[in-house]
Amino acid sequence: MKVYLDNAATTPLDPEVIKVMTETMQENYGNPSSIHAHGRQVKTIVEKARKTVAHLLKASPAEIFFTSGGTEADNMAIVRSIMDLGIKHAITSPVEHHAVLHTLEEQEKLGNITLNLVRVDAEGNVDLAHLRELLAENPRTFVSLMHANNEIGNLTDIKNVSQICREFNAVFHSDTVQTMGHYPHDLTDIDIDFITGAGHKFHGPKGVGFLYINAKNKIKPMIYGGAQERNMRGGTENVYGIVGLAKALEISYEQMAEHHAHIQALKEYMKEELQKAIPDVRFNGVTTANNSLYTVLNVSLPCTGIADMLLFSLDIAGVSASGGSACSSGSEIGSHVLQALNCDASRPSVRFSFSKYNTKEDIDFAVKTLKDLCEEK
């Protein structure tokens, strides 16, 4: 048996997404920048996809810019805000995705900003009182705080953060990659400058994402070379990826309530079964339903003897999971998120992440596999 429980890293393509992408590949091969009929036809397809994304987020199509994924979108929001919006100070948290954390750290090394890290508590929650303190000391600040942590699943109330940022005239960016397609985003209800999405996190294709840029912000491109994306991103559009992303997001919104209930039940079931099977099992981060991403469960195990080989042993046994972010899975340093929480380094931790395609049988198999591995050592 093979069980895939690494959906926070990437999700399998929805069959309907494959269908619409395949049809587009077969029938629409023109360059959307070309003025002839073949080009105009594809341009129409791209703009229809843009309107779909904008409609779902309750934004204007003119505020949606397609990118190669969440990392590029994060980089574009950060770097161009610093360069074009007069930003000299930035605030983020020590548990952000490296697409944000490393980008801001590099900007500080270049002398473009000073960077402060807002405190997080032992569970990984952002200290909003400390955020206020930092903002009061530094006018015209760029704030980047993710909606849901990709490793431990903690949710941050970004509407509350946006209100704090507005009090201090700060620019607010949120990496919403893990929540896009899993929670509704109503951009008429939250005053935010930038959010990001990546198609492969909600059963769309890899290599395509988007950046929402609030219309009041005027920034320049990160990539030059053409007038694509309304002069904001040079390069021929990833037409098939864009079509697939829009279809995947549409499906996600249509089925969101049903899939939320299904996946939340799987997460709760796994917590309960692990507690029965493995004495002293613990969970990193917040796991309560209202404050935690329902697709992620980070498990801390008492089986210290298998720490170095846990993920490998799970893989050999047929269970795919992660120790942290897949974007940094080749690192030997360990999870910066768990380090920020001062987790016991002797206890191995593994992130299980779920999708609409997972079943209770998958959970039973994964729990039994973990139990067997712990008992062996």
Answer whether 51's CB lies under 8 Å from 59's CB. no
**Which of the following is catalytic: 165, 303, 327, 343?**
327
Distance from C-alpha of 57 to C-alpha of 288, rounded to nearest angstrom: 26
Question: φ, ψ for residue 344 (rounded to 5)?
Answer: -65, 110
Distance, CA of 6 to chain centre? 13
Coil/strand/helix, residue 117: strand
Distance from C-alpha of 257 to C-alpha of 144, rounded to nearest angstrom: 28
Torsion sign over Cα 255, 260, 265, 267: positive
Q: What is the 3-state secondary structure (H, E, C) of 352-371?
A: EECCCCCCHHHHHHHHHHHH
Query: Residue 355 has which token pair?
Result: 């999708």
- The question of whether 327 is a catalytic residue gets the answer yes
Coil/strand/helix, residue 107: helix
Torsion sign over Cα 188, 190, 193, 195: negative
Which residue type sits at 193? D
Residues annotated catalytic, as ranges: 327
